Amino acid sequence: MSIEHIQSALEVFREFLKERDLKVTRQREILVRRIMEREEHFSAETLEDRVKGDGISKATIYRTLQLLCECGLVEEVALDDDRRMYEHVYGHDPHDHIVCVDCRKVFEFDGKPVLELQTRSTNNLGFTPVSHRMRIEARCDLLRETGACDRKEIKLI
């Protein structure tokens, strides 16, 4: 993500904090930068690695992640059943994830069909849709054979 985009994400977060009478701290700014500068899924632990040397405690990381989710810059993703995983969604198109059961790599695919399905399923039943969480488990064997690998591919952890 470009420096300008990171700046504007930071601006969004500052605005959010101001609205709630919360403070813009050194730690919060560093965390936003470190999150935005990489297109990579992360956990509290891997985020801790990214800010190693910046003197930010684990507790602050967890607390800031909550704020970033409420603010909408970050979302929790259903990649792992043992720990919470996150991604920043600032300027991203909606998408969902495929996890390869063999190599554990994570792939993103177009989320519009899922969103349509979400709208249809809920409306038909008398709900107002809010959000969804989805993960497809699959094998990437065919993918590797054909080598037709032009989509976004992200290695988990």
Partner DNA sequence: GTGGCTGCAAAGGATTTGCACTAAC
Partner DNA sequence: GTTAGTGCAAATCCTTTGCAGCCAC
Binding region for DNA (CB under 7 A): 17, 21-28, 43-45, 55-60, 62-64, 66, 82-84
- 153-155 vs 105-110, strand pairing mode: antiparallel
CB of 119 to DNA, least distance (A): 29
Instruction: Tell me which residue of 17, 86, 82 sits closest to 50, measured CA to CA.
Output: 86
Distance CA 37, CA 17 (A): 21
Listed residue (26, 63, 24) closest to 47, CA to CA: 63
**103 CB-near residues (< 8 Å, 6+ apart):** 140
State the nearest-atom distance from the C-beta of 46 to a second copy, in Å: 18
Nearer CB in complex with a second copy: 22/117: 117
Per-residue binder mask for a second copy (CB under 8 A), 22-61, x = binder: ----------------------------------------
The site string for a second copy over 70-89 (x = CB under 8 A, - otherwise) reads ------x-x--x--x-----
